[in-house]
């Protein structure tokens, strides 16, 4: 009997196969088909959501505008920029007001440019971020310098760049040391002395490049009067650009451990993730927009310098060396003080001294080369008074940094030194008041 049942079962299976019948699907096969259907359904929902995401993109754009434009209190000064443009076209007798309004209007733009750079630096890492901070922190000075150079105002270019170096090394660093010392009065703040020494050496090299054309001019020892100092300046500028490129390679590739902040070699904080208020693409877009608006206002600012000097009864040298750099360094000033109060002196030095190093070793030689291309006689002869001022300033700051510590008294001394420099330029008469060499 058992054999007959097995035979019948075998015949039934054979009939199913011959008749084209298919066995009932297994539970595993049904589950697989349901899973595939679910994924197809989810994919179609994602496509619908993506097609309806235009509103979310607009919402993200409005959020970015709110964070960058409306969140900062300093942006109440933004309307002064359009007012300066309106005054420029309404009357030619208001050059003093055009200059002041342009100066005030550029201040929040420079600060917001620094903010966008810091946001972008959070996505690129600390090393590239430091370089971005120094580069875009000097964007305002570079834009003003290139516009003035195009108009042949070589002395304005030289004095504004010199003033930016002096402002960063004395005023910005001094205020940062002073504020950090008041927040931490019971001890000296410590920073990486090796990085400060290298930057001090580069600044002394910049002084060397600026000193010889001036000495050559005032000792009348040129082979060809008026031409040798220009040729020497162009050669020295190329050498300084090579030196700065070597410094970047040394800092970013060769000796990265030398520049690691004290106590932060392995630290990757969660605070940086929380500080990302805008996306990387939004930060790049804001950098582009802010740079264009600064470029526009810089044109009106440079055009109004001479008229402002006459209407405000201020020397052009004082306006170029003191007033212009204070506006251009607004971003560095705020961030340097903030980092010093947080006891992050290495970042403060990177902002203040690193910015001075970049201006002296890159921006000034770059302007000489660009002037060479434009046919302008831009050189490194910054006149005897300005060169001596820079030389003494570099020595004072190098002396302050040699111990690798800071306190509020050192900051106070740097601020007082800057006040002496500002007063000196207020009573200084530029030997070449026409703006040309």
DSSP per-residue letters across 217-239: HHTT--SSTTTHHHHHHHHHHHH
| Residue 176 near residue 411 (C-beta atoms within 8 A) | yes
DSSP per-residue letters across 105-166: HHHHHHHHHHHHHHHHHHHH-HHHHHHHHHHHHTHHHHHHHHHHHHTT-HHHHHHHHHHHHH
Residue 360: which residues within 8 A CB-CB, separation 6 or more? 165, 202, 203, 206, 207
**Residue 344 forms part of a structural domain:** yes
Token pair, residue 41, equals 């359904």
Count structural domains, the chain. Answer: 1
Q: What is the pLDDT of residue 2?
A: 47
Q: What is the pLDDT of residue 219?
A: 83
**Residue 26 forms part of a structural domain:** no
pLDDT tens string for the chain (437 positions)? Answer: 444 444 454 544 444 444 444 444 444 444 444 444 444 444 444 444 444 455 567 777 787 778 788 777 778 888 888 898 888 888 767 788 888 888 888 888 877 877 787 788 778 765 666 667 666 767 777 888 888 888 888 888 888 899 989 998 999 999 999 999 898 888 888 888 887 888 888 999 999 999 988 888 888 777 777 678 889 999 999 999 999 888 888 877 755 555 555 544 444 444 444 467 788 888 888 888 888 888 888 888 888 888 888 888 888 888 888 888 877 676 667 778 888 888 888 888 888 888 888 899 999 999 999 999 988 888 898 888 999 999 999 999 999 888 888 889 999 999 999 999 999 999 888 776 444 44
**Residue 409 forms part of a structural domain:** yes
Give the CA count within 13 Å in the CB-facing half-sphere of 356. Answer: 33
**Crossing angle of helices 280-303 and 80-90, rounded to 10°:** 30
**Residue 303 forms part of a structural domain:** yes
CA 148 to chain centre: 21
**Residue 41 forms part of a structural domain:** no
Q: What is the pLDDT of residue 130?
A: 60
Token pair, residue 377, equals 């006689």
Torsional sign, CA 106, 112, 118, 124: negative
- Measured between alpha carbons, how far is 268 from 193 in angstroms, rounded to an integer? 22
**Residue 30 forms part of a structural domain:** no
| Residue 199 near residue 353 (C-beta atoms within 8 A) | yes
Residue 254: which residues within 8 A CB-CB, separation 6 or more? none
| Residue 332 near residue 177 (C-beta atoms within 8 A) | no
The pTM assigned to this predicted structure is: 0.75
Q: What is the DSSP letter of 77?
A: G
**Residue 269 forms part of a structural domain:** no
pLDDT, tens digit, for every residue of 398-431?
A: 998 888 888 899 999 999 999 999 999 998 887 7
- Measured between alpha carbons, how far is 66 from 63 in angstroms, rounded to an integer? 5
- Measured between alpha carbons, how far is 243 from 240 in angstroms, rounded to an integer? 5
Q: Which domain holds residue 361?
A: 61-258+278-427
Supply the Cα-derived Rg of the chain in whole angstroms.
31
Cβ neighbours around 265 below 10 Å, total = 8
Q: What is the pLDDT of residue 421?
A: 93
In sequence order, the β-bridge partners of residue 405 are 190
Q: What is the pLDDT of residue 390?
A: 93
* Residue 240, domain CATH: 1.20.1420.30
**Residue 311 forms part of a structural domain:** yes
| Residue 140 near residue 164 (C-beta atoms within 8 A) | no
């Amino acid at each position: 009997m058992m054999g007959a049942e097995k035979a019948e079962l075998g015949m039934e299976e054979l009939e199913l196969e011959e008749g084209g019948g298919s066995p009932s699907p297994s539970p595993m096969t049904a589950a697989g088909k349901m899973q595939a259907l679910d994924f197809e359904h989810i994919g179609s929902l994602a496509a619908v959501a993506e097609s309806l995401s235009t509103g979310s993109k607009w919402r993200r754009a409005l959020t970015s505008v709110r964070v960058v434009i409306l969140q900062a209190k300093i942006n109440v000064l933004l309307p002064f920029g359009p007012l300066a443009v309106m005054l420029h076209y309404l009357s030619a007798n208001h050059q003093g007001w055009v200059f002041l309004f342009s100066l005030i209007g550029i201040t929040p733009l420079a600060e917001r440019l620094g903010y966008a750079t810091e946001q972008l630096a959070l996505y690129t890492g600390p090393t590239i971020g430091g370089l971005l901070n120094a580069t875009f922190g000097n964007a305002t000075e570079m834009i003003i310098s290139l516009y003035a150079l195009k108009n042949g105002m070589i002395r304005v270019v030289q004095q504004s760049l010199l003033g930016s170096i002096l402002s960063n090394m004395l005023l910005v660093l001094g205020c940062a040391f002073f504020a950090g010392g008041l927040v931490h009065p019971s001890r000296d703040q410590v920073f990486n002395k090796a990085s400060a020494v290298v930057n001090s050496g580069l600044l002394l090299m910049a002084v060397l490049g600026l000193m010889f054309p001036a000495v050559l001019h005032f000792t009348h020892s040129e082979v060809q009067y008026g031409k040798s100092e220009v040729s020497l300046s162009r050669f020295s500028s190329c050498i300084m650009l090579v030196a700065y490129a070597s410094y970047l390679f040394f800092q970013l590739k060769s000796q990265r451990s030398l520049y690691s902040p004290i106590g932060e070699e392995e630290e990757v904080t969660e605070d940086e993730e929380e500080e990302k208020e805008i996306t990387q693409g939004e930060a790049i877009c804001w950098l582009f927009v802010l740079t264009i608006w600064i470029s526009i206002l810089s044109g009106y600012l440079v055009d109004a310098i001479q008229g402002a000097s006459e209407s405000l009864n201020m020397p052009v040298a004082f306006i170029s060396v003191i007033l212009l750099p204070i506006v251009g360094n607004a971003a560095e000033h705020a961030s340097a003080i903030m980092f010093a109060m947080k006891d992050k002196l290495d970042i403060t030095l990177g902002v203040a001294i690193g910015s001075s190093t970049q201006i002296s070793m890159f921006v000034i030689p770059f302007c000489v080369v660009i002037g060479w291309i434009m046919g302008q006689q831009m050189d490194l002869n910054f006149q005897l008074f300005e060169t001596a001022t820079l030389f003494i300033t570099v020595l004072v700051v190098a002396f302050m940094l040699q111990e690798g510590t800071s306190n509020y008294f050192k900051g106070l001394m740097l601020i007082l030194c800057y006040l002496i420099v500002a007063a000196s330029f207020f009573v200084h008469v530029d030997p070449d008041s026409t703006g040309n060499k």
